[in-house]
Structure 1
Amino acid sequence: MSDTPIYTLGIDIGSTTSKCVILKDGAEIAAQALEVAGIGTSGAQETIGKVLTAAGLSQEQISASVVTGYGRKNFGGDAVSVSELSCHAMGAHWVFPEVRTIIDIGGQDAKVISLNESGMMESFVMNDKCAAGTGRFLDVMANILKLDISELEVKAAAAQSPVSISSTCTVFAESEVISQLSGGAAIPDVVAGICNSVASRVCGLARRVGIREQVCMSGGVALNNGVRGAIARDLGVEIRYDPRAQLFGAIGAALHAYKRYTKNNTANHE
C-alpha cells in the first residue's frame, strides 16, 4: 500500500460565503479557507486557490473533490456535487461523533437535521423561502442598527430587558425594530430581541424534527453566541459549539470525496 497521503478537497458555496477544506487521509485538516463571496461570484475559485496555497499543494495533488452548498449547481469545476444536508451531517459528525441533532443556519435558509448513532441523516426539516430565521435576517437588522454583523453578539450580551420582535416577515420585523428604537429601546435590548426572534423560528423547526442530544450548530450564524444562547434557552439543551462550525459543510464534502476515492481505488485494485 502506498505511503503517499491522500488529499481531498471539499468546496461549500453558500449564498454569501465560499468555504474550502483540504483533508489529509480523511482524518486531518491540512488547510482551510473562507471568502465572503458566494454564489454568482468568483469567490469559489478564489477560495480554492487560497486553500491550495495554504496547504502547499497543487490542484494535481488533490485526489478527489466534492462541491456542496447553495451554489453547487453553478460551479464550473469537475468536482462531484453532493447535497448540503449530507455534507453538514457528515462534517458535524466528524467534529462531534455523539451529535444527534444539527441546527444549520445559513445565509438564505435554516434547516434542522436528525442523525442516527452512525452519523447518517434520518430526517430533516427546512424553513420556507422567507429570510426570517436566517443569516440574511441578521444582516438586514445589523444594517438598520448601523452595526457590523460581528457586533451583534457583544450588544446582545449587554441587554438588560430584551424587546419582543414578533413579526415573522423580515420586512415587518424591520418596521418593528425601527418602532422599538423610536420608542427609546436600548440598542442592546433590540439586538437581543433580534437574536431571540431568530432562535424562536429555528426552534420551531427543531421541534418538528424532534430534539435528541447532543445538539450542535453549523453554518455562519453558529458563530453568534447571542443566537446560540437563545436557542439553548428556548430548547432547554446545551448547544455544542466549535469555531469551525462555518466549515462543517466543506469538511463533510472533503470526507465524501475521501470516501468516494478510497472506495473507487479499492474496487479498481480488486
Structure 2
Amino acid sequence: MYTVGIDVGSAAIKIVAFDGNDYKYTIEPTGWSPKSKGAEVYSRFLSDNKISSGHIKKVVATGYGGRRLDFIDEYKSEITCHGRGCHVLDPSIKGVIDIGGQDSKAMLLNGSGKVLDFTLNDKCAAGTGRFLQVTVNALGLDMDQIDALANNSKPLEIDNMCAVFAETEVLNLIVQGAKQGDILAGLLKSIALRIGSLAGKVDIEGEVAFCGGVAQSKVLTQMVEQYCNLKINKLENPQITGALGAAVIGF
C-alpha cells in the first residue's frame, strides 16, 4: 500500500508515492492551470509506476495549488510537509531553508522533524525562485546554465531585490558590458544574503537542509555557506521534500 504526497508549487508539481520504506517520485512543470495539470501528472505518475487506486490508502496535498485538487483526501501546510520531508531524508537536520517559486522559508526543527519556529519572506518575489528566473531570463539564459557561468566569477552588487527592478538593473549591467557570469554571481549572492537574514530570524545555526529547485545550484549552496555561516547538508532530491513529507504524514 502507498500514500501519495503531491506538492503543487508555482513552478513545479512534485509527486511522491511512499510505501513505508521507499518512495517513487516525479517532477513536472506546473504550467498555467495547477488543477488540471495536477490531475494529469497524478494520473500519468500512477500509470507509469503501475500503481492502482486500490493500492493507495491516502492522497495528501500541499503547496499553493494543492487545495484546488479534487482527488485528494487531506491538505497539509508547506511548512509542516517540508519539515517532515527533510527529516526523513536526513534525521540529523535541525534547520531548513526552502526557496520556492513564490516564497522563501526558514524553519527550525526538533529531533522528530516537527517545526518549532519558522519565518517567511515578505509578499514580494525577492529572493525566490521566481526572482532568479526573471533575472536569468533577462540575460537570455536558462536556469540550468547558472552554475557553469557563475562559478569562479566576481559577484556584482545587485541593489534591487524586487524582481521587476532587478530585471531592469540586469539589463543596464548588460548595456554597460558586464559579464554574464559576474551578473549571475551577483544575483546568487543577493539571494544567499536574503537566506541568511531569514535564518537569523529563527536562530538557525550549524547544519541545515537546503531544499527547493534552486537548491540544486552548487554555486548558490557554496555562497550560503560562505556568507551566512551555515553548513549545508546536501539532500537527495531537494526539490521533493514537500511532497515526500506529505506522503509520510499520510502513511
Same fold per superposition (TM over 0.5): yes
Q: Which residue of 2 aligns with 1:95?
A: 89
Which of 128, 146, 155 is residue 149 of structure 2 equivalent to? Answer: 155
Counterpart Cα distance in 2 of 1:212 and 1:198? 18
Which of 61, 78, 89 is residue 55 of structure 2 equivalent to? Answer: 61
* C-alpha deviation, 1:97, in angstroms: 0.3
- Does 1:47 pair with 2:72? no
The aligned amino acid for 1:27 is N
- Does 1:217 pair with 2:178? no
Larger Rg: 1
* C-alpha deviation, 1:8, in angstroms: 0.8
Runs of 4+ in 1 over 6 A off after TM superposition: none
Counterpart Cα distance in 2 of 1:75 and 1:179? 42
Counterpart Cα distance in 2 of 1:18 and 1:218? 15
* C-alpha deviation, 1:166, in angstroms: 1.7
Counterpart Cα distance in 2 of 1:242 and 1:217? 7
* C-alpha deviation, 1:60, in angstroms: 2.0
* C-alpha deviation, 1:213, in angstroms: 2.7
| Offset from partner CA, 1:124-162 (integer Å, 9 cap, x none) | 000011111000011101110010111112111141x21
Q: Which residue of 2 aligns with 1:242?
A: 235
The aligned amino acid for 2:186 is G
The aligned amino acid for 1:53 is S
Counterpart Cα distance in 1 of 2:171 and 2:72? 47
* C-alpha deviation, 1:46, in angstroms: 2.1
Q: Which residue of 2 aligns with 1:177?
A: 170
Which of 12, 35, 39 is residue 7 of structure 2 equivalent to? Answer: 12
> How many residue pairs are counted as aligned between the two chains?
250
TM-score normalised by the chain length of structure 1 = 0.89
Contact 1:108/1:136 (8 A) holds in 2: yes
Instruction: Note the 1:70-89 alignment, pairs <5 A.
Output: 70-89=64-83
* C-alpha deviation, 1:14, in angstroms: 0.4
Which of 188, 191, 205 is residue 198 of structure 1 equivalent to? Answer: 191
Q: Which residue of 2 aligns with 1:255?
A: 248
Q: Which residue of 2 aligns with 1:261?
A: none
TM-score normalised by the chain length of structure 2 = 0.95
Counterpart Cα distance in 2 of 1:88 and 1:136? 19
Counterpart Cα distance in 2 of 1:169 and 1:87? 28
Contact 2:159/2:166 (8 A) holds in 1: yes
Alpha-carbon spacing, 1:38–1:243, altered in 2? closer, same or farther (3 Å): farther
Q: Which residue of 2 aligns with 1:3?
A: none
- Does 1:21 pair with 2:16? yes
Question: In structure 2, the residue corresponding to 1:142 is in which secondary structure?
Answer: helix
| Offset from partner CA, 1:163-215 (integer Å, 9 cap, x none) | 01021322221222122222221110000001111111121111111123320
Contact 1:32/1:54 (8 A) holds in 2: no
Q: CA RMSD in A?
A: 1.4
Counterpart Cα distance in 1 of 2:171 and 2:99? 25
Residues 86-95 or 235-244, more deviating: 235-244
* C-alpha deviation, 1:40, in angstroms: 2.9
Question: In structure 1, the residue corresponding to 2:83 is in which secondary structure?
Answer: helix
Question: In structure 1, the residue corresponding to 2:157 is in which secondary structure?
Answer: coil
Unaligned 5+ residue runs, structure 2?
A: none
Question: In structure 2, the residue corresponding to 1:226 is in which secondary structure?
Answer: helix
- Does 1:118 pair with 2:107? no
